[in-house]
Amino acid sequence: MKRNQTNLTALQLTFFIIQAQIGVGILGLPFNVFSAAKQDSWISILFAGVVIQLIVFLMWGLGKRFPENSLFEYSSLLTGKFFGMLINLLYIIFGLMVASLVLMYASTIIKMWVLPITPKWIIILLLTIPAVYLGKEKVSEISNIFVVVSALIGLLIVISFIVMFTYPVDWRYLFPIGHAGLINILKGTKEAYFSMLGFELLLILYPYFQQIGERKVLLSVSLANFCVTLIYTFLTIVSVITFSPEELLLIPQPVLYFVKSLYLQIVERIDLVFVSLWVVNVITSLTTYLFLSTEGCSISFSKHKKFKRYLYTLFFGALAGGIALIPNKESEIETFNKGVVYMSYLTLLVLPILLLGLSFISKGSKKNEK
């Protein structure tokens, strides 16, 4: 597959991965991790960042063996046409499931905090339309938008800093360090891992950024993972020192609650401002997974020229929205969430290891092989 986007830069790759990783999880991550690791939840997030970095090395090693091909292309080269198609379909479905999960959580939070009377389907529609509009575009256009909107993440951090220095906090809630125990810290790492998904886009973005060099590709994705890890660690620490351990176990979105406590004369409900900025990150996260599924179909079914790229994006956007409307209870969303987590172990760890091993066995590292 020819890719004529040689003007892409390392900075664009970094922000693409950052926007893919930061989404719905930024609000509920402190609660989920604290439920398992208590005051050591910030350590769990650092551990999750290290684990993800190891997986990034794995994906980068696989990508540099096929710098001109994405996962959807070299899967068939390594496993044959039939199994390659099965692998591609698995990643396409994975992208659809994550997109659906993003819509489930985002619509629930928006309905709870901002639009309690608005029907859920309208909220999902409003989130899906811009994601579909952007997801159908080329990598260069999506990357440019992601670079611009990444400035909003800085505003979220600034608001959190203001809370930390104006709200009465207790740093003793972070101590004693390590008291939760290694097992609980690792359980917290598992919770943090899923909220930091998005780095797997490297599997399909590598050929678009090959011209910047394999080292810069690795550094760009590593920098993105480092920034996201620090942001999540910071927000978790602010949550832990703001609320008592008993309170934090009862607050599903602690980030919104500590922002709501902030009083500014010029802004009456700063939590609504925070949600408005957060919605942009939800849309960009949703866009990346619609892009993942669209890219998979565009390559896997490239012989069917009558299907335009935007039709795939529209189809997956509508399907993800429809799936997001099915769960009516929080327990049903959690069941769906567990299914996506288990699927991520297969798509983000097992299959990349398998494909990398096959690439050495079959000597499939010829750069011009197609």
Tens-digit pLDDT profile for residues 249-258: 888 888 888 8
CA separation (Å) from 171 to 146, 157, 229, 243? 35, 19, 20, 10
DSSP class of 250: T
- 59 part of a folded domain: yes
Integer Cα distance of 18 and 281 in angstroms: 10
- 170 part of a folded domain: yes
Q: Which residue has the tokens 């020229």?
A: 305
Provide the domain count of the chain.
1
Integer Cα distance of 214 and 56 in angstroms: 13
> What is the model's pLDDT at position 350?
94
- 370 part of a folded domain: no
Integer Cα distance of 359 and 76 in angstroms: 11
> What is the model's pLDDT at position 305?
62
> What is the model's pLDDT at position 309?
85
SS3 assignment, position 267: strand
> What is the model's pLDDT at position 370?
43
> What is the model's pLDDT at position 364?
42
Question: Which tens digit of pLDDT belongs to each residue from 46-92?
Answer: 999 999 999 999 999 999 999 989 999 999 999 999 999 999 999 99
- 301 part of a folded domain: yes
DSSP sequence for 95-159: HHHHHHHHHHHHHHHHHHHT-SSS-HHHHHHHHHHHHHHHHTS-HHHHHHHHHHHTHHHHHHHHH
Output the pTM of the full model. Answer: 0.91
Which CATH number belongs to the domain containing residue 146 in this structure? 1.20.1740.10
DSSP β-bridge partners for residue 264:
267
Domain containing 46 equals: 10-361
- 125 part of a folded domain: yes
- 366 part of a folded domain: no
pLDDT-flagged residues of the chain (< 50): 364-370
- 369 part of a folded domain: no
- 85 part of a folded domain: yes
